[in-house]
């Protein structure tokens, strides 16, 4: 269902979303109009539940500062919505350690989630675990099933995607440089100095963000990041030092992330939150009764 608002080209698509977004925006004109109606600024702490599936090509023609601000505004809802999903998963998982008896459904959820985050192998059955092993599973979940600080996600997305202007973003919605599992799939880089693998193609930006966050939360290469996040949750600069294996430039990668975070003061956005539905309800209230 599409509804034209204020007789403009702005249309909104209402849908059932796995990440609880209220509205999906489809074009640059829709995005710009929505941001104006909602008075949504790039450092706004109350972030509306609006997302886009792909970054519009117009971002390439923007001035540097406008591009940065536009990129932050479209990334923050994606980041916070995915973090919301992770925290719901975390709370449900850890709450089960307080229960004396688990249902079959709860055991199945523990198994599937623990395998997803590589806490246990796919051959392990939690129902057969002793108390010591089960406690180990919950301890590991406490480290692995956690939200990614927005400052980290923003900086890495900016660095990996050229602030949303890279070919991998425009052709594959790939914000973080993930390679395809099958070497024959995906986008072929023009100059590839690493292994002969192509860049993964995603159906949406949200799928790219989801894959990125799961990678950071379960890949053993980023254990240092997870330990710092758990014990020093406000040490954003310290967390960046856990990404020396993310790129072939090694320790220099952390320095580049630190520069972006410091220059644009991204740490200020770590306490941003998703606004309530009333924020987007004000957008819906401006619609004209025109349904396509």
Domains and CATH numbers, the chain: 2-84+147-284 (1.10.530.10), 85-144 (no CATH)
Write out the two tokens for 89: 């998963």
* Lowest pLDDT segment from 17-21, 141-145, 188-192, 285-289: 285-289
Query: Poorest-confidence range of 2-16, 36-50, 93-107, 262-276?
Result: 2-16
pLDDT score of 134 more than 70: yes
Give dist(CA 54, CA 216) in Å, integer.
22
CA dihedral in degrees (278, 280, 281, 282; nearest 10)? Answer: 100
**Rounded-to-integer distance, Cα 58 and Cα 177, Å:** 21
The secondary structure of residue 57, as a DSSP letter, is: G
Provide mean pLDDT across the span 24-49: 93
Alpha-carbon distance 8 to 25, whole Å?
14
Q: How far apart are CA 158 and CA 233, in angstroms?
A: 22
Q: How confident is the model at residue 120 (pLDDT cuts 50, 70, 90)?
A: very high
pLDDT at 5 over 60: no
Mean pLDDT of the chain: 88
> How far is the CA of 243 from the CAs of 78, 146, 223, 228, 237, in angstroms?
21, 17, 9, 12, 11
Q: How confident is the model at residue 284 (pLDDT cuts 50, 70, 90)?
A: low
Q: How confident is the model at residue 181 (pLDDT cuts 50, 70, 90)?
A: confident
> What pLDDT score was predicted for residue 22?
75
The whole-angstrom separation of Cα 224 and Cα 52 is 32
Q: Please report which confidence band the pLDDT of residue 24 belongs to, taking 50, 70 and 90 as the band edges.
A: confident
Q: Which of 74-88, 136-150, 183-197 has the lowest mean pLDDT?
A: 183-197
Query: Kindly report the CA angle at 159 between 154 and 161, in degrees rounded to 5?
Result: 90
């Amino acid at each position: 269902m599409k509804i034209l608002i204020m007789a403009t080209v702005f249309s909104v698509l209402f849908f059932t979303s796995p990440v609880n977004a209220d509205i999906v925006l489809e074009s640059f004109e829709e995005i710009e109009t929505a941001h104006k109606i909602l008075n949504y600024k790039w450092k706004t702490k109350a972030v509306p539940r609006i997302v886009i599936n792909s970054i519009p090509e117009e971002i390439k023609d923007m001035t540097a500062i406008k591009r940065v601000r536009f990129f932050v505004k479209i990334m923050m809802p994606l980041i916070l919505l995915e973090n919301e999903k992770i925290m719901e998963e975390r709370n449900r998982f850890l709450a089960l350690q307080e229960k004396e008896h688990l249902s079959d459904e709860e055991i199945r959820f523990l198994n599937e989630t623990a395998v997803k985050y590589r806490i246990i192998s796919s051959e392990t059955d939690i129902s057969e675990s002793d108390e010591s092993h089960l406690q180990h599973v919950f301890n590991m979940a406490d480290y692995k099933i956690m939200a990614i600080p927005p400052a980290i996600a923003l900086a890495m997305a900016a660095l990996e995607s050229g602030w949303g202007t890279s070919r991998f973003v425009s052709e594959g919605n790939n914000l973080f440089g993930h390679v395809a599992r099958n070497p024959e799939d995906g986008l072929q880089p023009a100059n590839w100095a690493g292994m002969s693998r192509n860049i993964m193609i995603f159906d949406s930006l949200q799928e790219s963000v989801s894959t990125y966050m799961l990678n950071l939360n379960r890949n053993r290469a980023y254990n240092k990041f997870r330990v710092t996040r758990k014990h020093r949750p406000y040490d954003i600069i310290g967390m960046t030092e856990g990404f020396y294996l993310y790129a072939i430039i090694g320790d220099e990668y952390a320095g580049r992330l630190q520069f972006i975070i410091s220059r644009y003061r991204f740490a200020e956005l770590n306490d941003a939150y998703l606004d309530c539905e009333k924020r987007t309800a004000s957008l819906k209230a401006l619609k004209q009764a025109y349904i396509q």
